[in-house]
Amino acid sequence: MAAVEPTRFPNAIVTEFADTDTKCKTLVAGFVGAGLVGPIAAGHIVAETGMDEFACMRSRHLPPAAVFIRGHLQHPFRFYSNKSTGMCAIICETTIQMDGVYDIISAIFDWIKSKNAQELVILDGIASDSHDDVAYYAAEKDLHSVEKSSGIQMISRGFLTGISGGLLDECLLHNVRGSAILVKAKKDGPDPAAAATLVEAINSLYRTDISTESLRSNTLQIGDKFSELSKRYTRHRDETHGMYM
C-alpha cells in the first residue's frame, strides 16, 4: 500500500479553484478591524453585485477555522470577482497574527500583480465610541474629486497598521493605486451602520448603485452573525491592527 503524502501548509499562497483567467481592474479588501466594517461592507458589495468566489488564501499563519454561510462551508479568507465589471474583492473573516502578516501581504501582492490590478481600495474602521455617518478617504494621490462627494472627507494625517497598512505601503512601491476608505466604528462590536457608510462612499466615488437598506435595517441579525468574530478581534486588536488619525 502506497504511503500517503502529508498535507503541508505553505507560509502563504493564494489558491485559485475557478476562473483562473480572471482580471481585476479594481480590488476592494475588507479585513478584521474595528466594528468588523471591512468584511461586512465587502461581503455586502459581493452579494449585491453578484461576485463569484474563485480563490482562497492558504497559510500556516491563519488560525484553523471554517466559516458557514447560510449552511454552506466556505474559506475564511476568500477572493471574489465579477467578470463584467472587472471588480474583485477580498474578504477575510479571521484574525491574523503579526508574525504572519508579512508572508500574507507578500502572497496577496504577488497575486495582485499577476492579475494586473490597477487599484486597491481598503475598507476599514477606526475604533470609536460611536459612528458619525462620515467616510474618511486617503490615497497616494487624489484619485477622485472627494471634495465634491457628500459625506466624504480627506484624512489630513493618520497611521494605519496591520495588513491594511502593509498592503497600502506595497502599493507605493509598485504600479498599483492604493487608497483607503475609513469610518469611525464601534470598538467592541459589529457596526453594520458604519459598514453601510463605507458602501455609500464606494457608490459616490465609483458611481455604483449598491443598496445599503439591508445593512441599516438588519443590524441585530448582522450583529449576531459576526458576534464571535468580534470577540476574537477584541482579544487581538492591540497586537495586530490599528488606525489612528
CB 101 within 8 A of CB 166: yes
Residue 51: name the closest of 76, 73, 18, 15 by CA: 18
Judge whether 12 lies within some domain: no
6 within domain boundaries: no
Q: Is residue 8 part of a domain?
A: no
Can you give the pLDDT at residue 222? 62
The parent domain of residue 147 ranges over 22-237
Report pLDDT for 93: 87
How far apart CA 25 and CA 85 sit, in angstroms, is 8
Task: For 53, list phi and psi in degrees, rounded to 5.
Answer: -70, 135
Pairing relationship of beta strands 119-128 and 177-186 according to DSSP bridges: parallel
Question: Is 112 inside any structural domain?
Answer: yes
pLDDT of residue 95: 82
Q: With respect to residue 187, please indicate whether it lies within any of the assigned structural domains.
A: yes
What does DSSP assign to residue 50? T
Rounded Cα gap, residues 241 and 47, in angstroms: 26
pLDDT value at residue 45: 97
Number of domains composing the chain: 1
Is residue 9 a part of any domain in this protein? no
Q: Tens digits of per-residue pLDDT, 48-104?
A: 999 999 999 999 988 877 676 666 778 889 999 988 888 999 999 888 888 899 999
Query: What is the DSSP track for 106-158?
Result: HHHHHHHHHTT--EEEEEEEEEESS--S-EEEEESS--S-GGGSTTEEE-SS-
- Whether residue 169 lies inside any domain: the answer is yes
Per run of 10 residues, the mean pLDDT along the chain (length 245 residues) is: 59 84 88 90 94 92 74 84 90 87 95 92 90 89 61 80 92 92 87 94 92 82 59 53 53
Instruction: Find out whether 37 and 183 touch, Cβ atoms under 8 Å.
Output: yes
92 with 58: CB under 8 angstroms? no
Domain at 146, CATH number = 3.40.50.10900
Give the pTM. Answer: 0.86
Residue 135 domain-assigned?
yes
- Residue 112 pLDDT: 93
| Side chain identity, residue 168 | L
Grid cell 474618511 is found at 136
| Residue 1, pLDDT score | 47
DSSP-derived letter for residue 36 is G
Nearest residue to 22 via CA among 104, 76, 89: 89
Identify the pLDDT of residue 13: 93
